[in-house]
Amino acid sequence: MRQAASARPSTLKALVLTLRPEQWTKNLLVFAVFGGRLLEVTAIWSAVAAFAVFCALSSAVYIFNDLADREADRQHPLKSMRPIAAGDLSPTTAAFAGVALAGAALAAATIMNPQLGLAAAAYLVLLLLYSAALKHFVIVDVLVISGGFVLRAAAGAVAVNVPISHWLLVCTTLLALFLALSKRRHELTLLGDGAVGHRRILEEYSPYLLDQMIAVVTASTLVAYTLYTTDAETAARLGTTRLGLTIPFVLYGIFRYLYLVHQKRGGGSPSTLLATDRPLLACVALWAVSVAVILYFPLG
């Protein structure tokens, strides 16, 4: 008993684990890379501040979601180790931290820019509705997750004061759907017969159905990105016709992700895959560098 007690993390460590800082990479969308203002100091600081706001908001959402799902998480082979489900963090402490984080983030966003405050509030409301009810509706659940990514991208555009490209929204929506559907598939294959007991909505899905949906979204993502990077309007707005050169990186990245989902039983956490799979990480890094070079260091 003493060994078990001594093995428990401190309250602070348990809280930090519950905030899931490893997931904050998802909030990099707020940097709105295609805005063309990342060399301006004021825009950089605005983007960094928006990133911090959405890190706080996403962590608050994780807290509320863990509170709501703590009984089901205890039956999950991986989620049972989360501090709230494991009993390492009291629900009262977690709830207080979640409310404080959400309140501080909304206040900061509103002070920075009222429109950013609206985007932050919309994100928080949407994700809380997801935790409370929307995650129990088939297809709606993955669409809501996708909507959270779209709001991050829109918030980034608002933060640095650039137009919100319809192409950016389309590509973000499709890529987020691809990741969300892949995660559902991973849950089904990982949990097997116990999947429904952990998450009721998984009863409405099957690996075959998810594979069909992933195939549609994959093709749509590639087509949308290709049209975006080769569109005359994009070229005129960004001052380059060379963004199409980045298409091979997107092709490889999506195909590599599909390989990890189907052959390596991955896909449960996009952030974890990105951090642990070196080829995928290298692909994303090369894509980012190539975009930066094309946008900020044009040839001729």
- Let me know if residue 38 belongs to a domain: yes
Residues 6+ apart with CB under 8 A from 156: 29, 30, 31, 32, 35, 47, 50
251 domain residue, yes or no: yes
User: What is the tens place of the pLDDT at every residue in 132-150?
Assistant: 889 889 999 999 999 999 9
The list of the chain residues with pLDDT below 50 reads: 1-6, 300
Do 171 and 299 lie in one domain? The reply is yes
pLDDT for res 196: 55
Token pair recorded at residue 266 = 């991955």
d(CA 245, CA 230): 9
Q: Which residue range forms the structural domain that includes residue 28?
A: 9-133
pLDDT at 202: 83
| Cα separation, 14 vs 84, whole angstroms | 8
Asked if residue 152 is part of any domain, the answer here is no
Q: Considering the domain boundaries, does residue 4 fall inside one?
A: no
pTM, full prediction: 0.84
Secondary structure class of 211 (helix, strand, coil): helix
Residue 36: the pLDDT is: 60
Residue 115 has a pLDDT of 93
CA–CA separation, 293 and 74 (whole Å): 47
As given in the structure block, the two tokens for residue 51 are 């990133």
Q: Are residues 233 and 124 in the same domain?
A: no
* Distances in whole angstroms, Cα of residue 91 to Cα of each of 85, 88, 144: 9, 10, 26
What CATH number does the domain containing 23 carry? 1.10.357.140
* Cα–Cα distance for residue pair 242/89, rounded to 1 Å: 51
Specify whether 201 is located in the same domain as 262: yes
Measured between alpha carbons, how far is 33 from 25 in angstroms, rounded to an integer? 14
195 and 271 belong to one structural domain: yes
d(CA 215, CA 258): 10
- Could you tell me how many helices (H) and strands (E) the chain has, helices first? 15, 0
